[in-house]
Amino acid sequence: MARIRVLIVDDSALMRQMLSSILTSDPGIEVVGTAPDPLVARDKIKTLNPDVMTLDVEMPGMDGLAFLERVMALRPMPVVMVSSLTGQGAAVSLRALELGAVDVFCKPADAAAGGLTAYRTELIEKIKAAAMARLRPPRDPAARSITRLSVTQIYRSSDRLVAIGSSTGGVEALRDIIVALPADAPPVVIAQHIPPRFSASFAERLNGLSAVRVKEAVDAERILAGHVYIAPGDRHLRVRRSGAALVTHVQDGPLVSGHKPSVDALFHSVAQTCAGKAVGVILTGMGRDGADGLLAMREAGADTLGEDESSCVVYGMPKAAHEIGAVQRQLPLSRIADEILRLCRAQGDD
């Protein structure tokens, strides 16, 4: 089987060396070249024909976003953004995902001391997922915010809960779903595999585009209709009861199914807490996090949906869930928001 050909673009010679060392330690990956800036990278893309490119987010004197936009227009390819854990890095990286990047990898704070080696498994996983990714067209930069609508009484019961899990490609998939929800939509809880600090920026950006209120989840918060709660990038999100109300439970802890936040952790909690008064949705992503939890939701009486292969950036998590019988219906991304609302209305009529 051919190895994945990777081009590394970063202004730091140390970072280029460290990324190369980590990636070449995997027999399935070959680093075919490195570049200190987009100008050199442009020529190396032409001569080396890489399968995947890593691209530094913040490069002095160079606009990584402009370069990404040109690459996606002239020579579309899977790109993984390499970002610092900063507010600016998060904002730029989220914009990069809108422009067509597949995923984001965070530089550790102690990279100069060799701390990047602790990220080996995550980085290799992201490169392999990117190599399998189906590219989506870039977002229209003129996309506008949606006017918030007045809340009606259709979905007021917080017992009608929607739980969504996603990974690679999920940031943009979630955007498609959330912006389509009305202001009075059922409450939504989300576990997306996303770096720490990025989740808050992601929630803020979605909140500005959506009729529902979107926020990063905090512990012991009452779950309300018309609200979307996104798990922090380094914490598990679960759902619990406090009397008649549903509340968030956000906590640190070991990885579950290899991840934190974990889709399985969220889905299992919803199965135990909400039984049949829930809808579970598993979206694009590599691996099988969420498959077992979605099966638990279905066995508890919840309705379950999976994104079908035609619209997935990576058809991994939905495929794993489908193969074990956790998914009642597979649908393209464009139909999932409407189906969520239809199922919640049907549950409300029970």
Q: Cite the active site residues.
A: 167, 193, 289
Phi, psi for residue 126 in degrees, rounded to 5: -65, -40
* Nearest CA-CA partner of 170 in 281, 73, 69: 281
Secondary structure element (H or E) that encloses residue 177, with its range: helix 170-178
d(CA 284, CA 307): 7
CB-based burial label for 133 (10 Å; 0-12, 13-18, 19+): buried
CB atoms within 10 A of CB 179: 17
CA end-to-end span of the chain: 52
- The CA distance from 192 to 261, in Å, is 7
Q: Is 198 helix (H, G, I), strand (E, B) or coil?
A: helix
Tell me how far apart the alpha carbons of residues 80 and 127 are, in angstroms, rounded to a whole number: 7
Cα within 13 Å of Cα(76), Cβ side: 10
CA 252 to CA 232: how far, in whole Å? 10
- The whole-angstrom separation of Cα 137 and Cα 73 is 9
DSSP track, 95-150: HHHHTT--EEEEPPTTGGGTGGGGGHHHHHHHHHHHHHPPPPPPPPTT--PPPPPP
